[in-house]
Chain A
Amino acid sequence: MPLLEIKNLKLDFKQGDKMLRAVDGVSFSMEAGETVCLVGESGCGKSVTALSIARLVPTPPAIYPEGEILLNGSDVLKMGKKELRSIRGGIVSYIFQDPSASLNPVFRVGNQIKESLKLHRPQAATDDEVIRLLKLVGIPAPESRIRDYPHQMSGGMQQRVMIAMALASEPKLLVADEPTTALDVTIQAQIMELLLDLKKRLGMSILLITHNLGIVGDIADRLAVMYAGQIVEMAPANQMLKRPLHPYTRSLMGSVPKLGHELERLNAIPGNVPSIGFMPTGCRFHPRCPMAKSDCSQKVPELVQVEPGHWVRCPYWSES
């Protein structure tokens, strides 16, 4: 049984009388110990998909018309309040984009980590355990750092505290929602290295959400690329990075500048992500697609397996 199995997840936001579909039929699964990366532009639905795993999207305005999210075999979408609270932190923990906003500015970081312990491992809610966790995430002199306020720490340190807090409850799945976007490049590398190290040592699964293709190669086992609320391509990481098949994935990778290559201008994908209320007919990517055919605006493409473990939502994937 996979640790997480999302089946045909659909998520609507109610706005006035209209229903706006933010996630449209997303399916994927994660095994224990596996690292999956969800990649996509802003507004493609990757964050709400991730937040849905612990039902953290407020309902209303959100509605789940269809789909299942099986976490350890039980459907999160059918859980009551109590069950939800026990899986939040207990099975799945989150770290978010901006660590300075994720920590409460008025409490000392040690106490905030202890809160997490009190909720899920009350017998371990001691200073010693907090110090051990801070050591685990590589914070120097944790004995004195537990009495710090968040503002006394740098962004990288704050994110380490957030990771310590997420790990305190010993989750099976860590969802990292753009964990390095708010940090500068050198700190990004350190945090990614830390996540990789923790994954190896603790054997947990990581679902990494990012729009930064530069960081996924080292950490991810599998990649899923999302566009306009749908998964357009999913494959083992090295396979996709070597040979992307969907035109969107290809454009996305083409827009990452490479060291040592002279560039006149950055390659950008023309156009914008379609707005949630105005989805194009047929293939959602066709208005921006460099190899769009005449029937792309009519035929809705399906996600099909083209090689073992490699899924693509484009009938013309082989023409490249």
Chain B
Amino acid sequence: MAETITNVTAGTDEDIVNLSPWQIMWRRLRQRKLAMAGAVVLLVLYFVAALAGFFAPYGYERQDRDRFFHPPTKIRFDGLRPVMARYHLTEPGSFKYEPVADDRKPISLFVQGEKYKLLGLIPSTTHLFGTGDEAYPIYLLGTDQYGRDIFSRMLYGSQISLSIGLIGIILSYSIGVFVGAASGYYGGKVDTLIMRLCELIMSIPGLYLILALRATFPSNLTSVQMYLLIVVILSFVGWASTARVIRGMALSLRERQYVLAARALGQSNLQIIIKHIIPGTFSYLIVGATLSIPYYILGEVVLSYLTVGIQEPEASWGNMLNAAQNTEYLRNYPWLLAPGAAIFITVLAFNFLGDGLRDAVDTKSA
């Protein structure tokens, strides 16, 4: 009997490639150039941020009291060798600098400089580039009103600005996904209650809610506490919209026959939510998360710009832009806006990647 059954089944299809949904998504994503460009840019940014101490020529706190508002150092090539000029102050009142002719210093790689801790653990003094001479400081993007190197501060600031997006997404999506899936799966009164709560949170203008929440905490927090506080506040405001979308998907997923089949096998509601409802929303989650990370980056920028976020002298892209509030500064020292360009590039890269991911997970598109 068993043999006859074996013989009559349809022939196995050997040439169907045994790909997981993730592998299929990766294949489709690879064909999208803009998305891959975004991914590469982000990889580079996160890599540099992780090793900020090594890539930055100076520490974020170092002040050069002789060179406030120093313009970006011009780099020239002496043959193949990059060299930089020393600048001197021509108008002390308005901080105008001129390069000194014939006073040049070659730029070299792996120079010894200030102490820092690589990844916060390994102590080191080697920096990627520099002149190794205090009299010839290299300021790729100039200095700010306190004589601090903007390039170095941007790298240190990226550690905060870039990680806040990831942690914020993880936090708000975990809340949003779980609450949304439970709301949609159980339905009825639970659903009504949770959805009205979401609408309540969403109906308050985000910025006011953030500022109000911020005001309930003391202002003399350490930078780590402040960082965590910002993430929690942004996630508290952000989970509601995720929960709403996931709830809608859960409403349709719970009617699937495989959910009934899982119940018929004796799985509990919690197991069904975790194993059958939430995985069904992954295709949305990946795209949604990628496209929402900029919200957290920009949220930190807004808070820091309004001086209720990351506090000086700690660097973040937001509080660096705080200095750019002054129009006088902006007109004369436009390099203060450099962190804005970094935000722009990061947000754009996340959006390109998110768009590509959306196409890659959408089986209906070609």
Binding site for B on A (CB under 8 A): 54, 56, 60, 81, 84-90, 93-94, 96-98, 101-104, 106-108, 115-116, 119-120, 135, 137-141, 144-145, 147-149, 152, 154, 156-157, 160, 162, 165-166, 169, 190, 193-194, 197
* Bound-complex Cα distance A101 to B20 (A): 18
The residue that B1 contacts in the complex, of A60, A86, A135, A197, with Cβ under 8 A, is: A197
Using A98-B257, A197-B1 as known contacts, say yes or no to A88 and B264 having CB atoms under 8 A apart: yes
A-facing residues in B242-294 (Cβ within 8 Å): 256-258, 260-268, 275-276, 279-280, 282
6 pairs from A and B in contact (CB 8 Å cutoff): A94-B264, A104-B262, A137-B5, A149-B20, A156-B9, A190-B8
B358 smallest CB distance to A (angstroms): 18
Which listed residue (A54, A60, A141, A160) contacts B264, Cβ 8 A? A54
Please report which residues of chain B, range 187-204, place their CB below 8 angstroms from some CB of chain A when the two chains form the complex.
188
Given contacts A89-B265, A137-B5, A149-B18, 19 further A-B contacts (CB under 8 A): A60-B188, A84-B266, A89-B266, A93-B265, A96-B257, A102-B261, A104-B258, A106-B280, A106-B282, A107-B279, A119-B265, A119-B267, A120-B266, A140-B6, A140-B9, A145-B12, A147-B18, A152-B13, A193-B5
Q: Which residues of B contact A106 (CB under 8 A)?
A: 21, 279-280, 282
Residue numbers in B under 8 Å from A145 (CB-CB)? 12
How far in angstroms is the closest Cβ of chain B from A141? 6
Majority secondary structure, B binding face? helix
Q: How far is the CA of A87 from the CA of B266 in the complex (A)?
A: 7
Closest to B5 in A: A138
Across the two chains, which residue of chain B brings its CB closest to A148?
A: B18
**Nearest CB of A to B276, in Å:** 6
How far is it, in angstroms, between the C-alpha of A145 and the C-alpha of B14 when the chains are bound? 11
CB of A59 to closest CB in B, whole Å: 11
Q: Which of A93, A106, A137 has the most CB of B within 10 A?
A: A106
Interface size class of B (residues with CB under 8 A): 20 to 34
**Which 4 residue pairs across A and B have the least CB separation, nearest first?**
A138-B5, A88-B266, A101-B257, A94-B264
B123-178 contacts to A (CB < 8 Å): none
| B263 touching A56, Cβ below 8 Å | yes
Which chain B positions have C-beta within 8 A of A54?
264
Q: Which residues of B contact A157 (CB under 8 A)?
A: 9-10
Contacts A102-B258, A106-B280 given; indicate if A115 touches B12 (C-beta within 8 A): no
A312 and B279 CA atoms in complex are apart in Å by 49
Cβ A104 vs Cβ B276 within 8 A: yes
Query: Once bound together, how far apart are the Cα atoms of A93 and B5, in whole Å?
Result: 22
Indicate if B2 sits at the interface (CB-CB under 8 A): yes
B16 interfacial contact with A, CB 8 Å? yes
Judge whether A140 and B264 touch: CB under 8 Å. Answer: no
Contact of B2 with A94 in the complex, beta carbons under 8 Å = no
* Chain A residues, CB < 8 A from B257: 96-98, 101-102
CA A197 to CA B6, docked complex, whole Å: 13
